[in-house]
Chain A
């Protein structure tokens, strides 16, 4: 294995630059290094002005999502040696406005995430000293979706979100489904008002890229199709029993 590899990094400051450019850096190629290590090496030794987000370095915080050789990846979990002999091209996540270099503006996702109400909604809260019991089967029903770390790789991969920014998007729907399927939750009907709109689940055309790129093996595409069936059943119920569904 050659002991160095070239990293091509997007450089862009919207306040000054007309369009993004690529800067190339040579970094050591070490077996245990991930793309994020290379970026940190560049920042520490080659160019301190390179701007990118990161925090935990262990695939938990969801901050370091970028596009590596065209594919949305968590850079802390993407090994440099897999791209040898290089070059490795690191770009910001697609479908988001760039703030600087590799940092994108995620506010659109945060607004959508809040809209889908990803928290437990109870009509009446139990007193604090009473517990909500849950069987292992009930936990299993939503556990997969609870692995989401809000890294937004699914938004970067989703061609529908790229074409129609109003689409609420994969993670917001998967997280809504995470709470819908939680036995302690009673908020499914509140979420349905948001999710069953045109820009909700019906925007999805089941391309499936969201599930492909998810680093935590959540299946947002599956969650959306599952929710389409739920919403359709509700629609049929409302049609058959117009009053009963109010």
Chain B
């Protein structure tokens, strides 16, 4: 195949991030930002949550939850800058800023998750 594009990989991250942002993120926000703090539901409590958080699978899950939406943002924001601000000629800088930003965000999330 000629001129193979790396876009499929970026689009895969973008679409996976879209699914996570649309389906999983609202559940977490509803539970941890509204339902537990406002007492609509009885929260699991700090100690229980901490035990849950220290389980490797929880960490991996939360890393995915943090990382994929960042790549979704990166892809969207890249095209917003390309077409919205019409600065596509700065594409190399934009690409590094967007996907680099998402990568840095992922690393920071991993550091935080594994340091708890």
**CA gap between A236 and B5 in the complex, in Å:** 12
CB-defined contacts of B9 to chain A, threshold 8 Å: 235
**CA gap between A159 and B83 in the complex, in Å:** 8
Closest partner residue, chain B, to A160 (CB atom):
B83
> A84 in the interface, Cβ–Cβ < 8 Å?
no
CB-defined contacts of A106 to chain B, threshold 8 Å: none
* Contacting pair B83 A196 (CB below 8 A): no
Closest partner residue, chain B, to A228 (CB atom):
B11
* Contacting pair A196 B11 (CB below 8 A): no
CB-defined contacts of A235 to chain B, threshold 8 Å: 4, 8-9
Quote the shortest CB–CB distance from A106 to chain B (angstroms).
Answer: 23
* Contacting pair A196 B5 (CB below 8 A): yes
Closest partner residue, chain B, to A238 (CB atom):
B1
The secondary structure that dominates the B interface is: helix
* Contacting pair A232 B11 (CB below 8 A): yes
Quote the shortest CB–CB distance from A206 to chain B (angstroms).
Answer: 9
> B12 in the interface, Cβ–Cβ < 8 Å?
yes
CB-defined contacts of B83 to chain A, threshold 8 Å: 159-160, 163, 205
Given that A163-B86, A205-B83 are contacting pairs, would A198 and B3 also be in contact in the complex, using a CB cutoff of 8 Å? yes
Within 19-33 of B, Cβ neighbours of A (below 8 Å) are at none
